[in-house]
Structure 1
Amino acid sequence: MNIVFLDGKCLICNGIIKFIYRIDRKKRIKFCHLQDEKALNYLEQDFVKNLSTVVFYQDGKISTKSDAAINIMVTLGHTYFKLFRFIPRFIRDGIYQFIAKNRYIIGEELDVCPIPEAGLAERFL
């Protein structure tokens, strides 16, 4: 099973979920907000506490930050994203962390995790 875990109160993160949903025609990826108790069924507490990190659970393996983003896109069939692995992780993760740190400035912080629309709702745990 492939699951993307993201901050449910982050407008940018919810936009990413909608983007993945639109391009994932084969329904390969499910979603879960890090604030959801179901996240603890798959992730250790440390991952769930860190709302600024995307976590990709892929058949029992966990990737985070830029590795998670690359693995998500490869899972969706965009294998050319593997080329980003040639960029050192500290650079990729540095860019990721800058965006994550400023995600509530770039996009707003929501008061509650939004209820997904009908088709998207079935893809949540």
Structure 2
Amino acid sequence: MKEKWEDKHIVFFDGDCGVCNFWVQWILERDQHDRFMFASLQSDFGQKFLSERGLETKVFNTLYLWKPNQYYFIKSRAVLQIANILGGIYKLSAIGKIIPAFLSDKIYNLVSENRMKLANQKCFLPDRDQKKKFIEV
């Protein structure tokens, strides 16, 4: 039997980061076709994802987008793919793919390194329907 998340795109994020939580909320509000689910990198599910791929399991400064049994994207490429999946006006961000990943990731890293200064640190509390989109295993 398939898990409820197996046909979704999973966004892995730093659960302790206000900027990350802002963007999770932003995606939730725009995910009109129910294509995304979310898991913090600190969760057992997030740690399993990282470990199985030999990725860093202690430092949570990278966003990952995973389509189970298909692919995963990191950093700026994950952001661009999320926008593409959301569709509509956000598909215009596909132009960002012409920028080599090493350059767009430099910008991503700059934001990531300063995210705690940028964050409003308000705690995001999903509503009942939004909670269904979080993987807590």
Please indicate, yes or no, whether the TM-score normalized by the shorter chain is above 0.5: yes
Runs ≥4 in structure 1, deviation > 6 angstroms? Answer: none
Identity of aligned residues (%): 28
Q: CA deviation at 1:17?
A: 0.4
**TM-score, structure 1 length as denominator?**
0.87
Aligned length: 123
**Aligned residue number for residue 61 of structure 2:** 52
Return the match for 1:83 from 90, 95, 100. 95
Q: CA deviation at 1:43?
A: 3.1
Is 1:117 the equivalent of 2:114?
no
**Aligned residue number for residue 5 of structure 2:** none
**Aligned residue number for residue 92 of structure 1:** 104
**Aligned residue number for residue 17 of structure 2:** 10
| Secondary structure of the structure 2 residue equivalent to 1:46 | coil
Structure 1 alignment gaps of length 5 or more = none
CA contact (8 A) 1:4 1:32 kept: yes
CA contact (8 A) 1:10 1:108 kept: no
Between 115-124 and 95-104, the greater mean CA deviation after superposition: 115-124
From the CA coordinates, give the structure whose radius of gyration is larger: 2
> Match of 1:89, as an amino acid?
A
CA contact (8 A) 1:5 1:39 kept: yes
| Secondary structure of the structure 1 residue equivalent to 2:107 | helix
Q: CA deviation at 1:108?
A: 5.0
CA contact (8 A) 1:8 1:114 kept: no
**Aligned residue number for residue 70 of structure 1:** 80
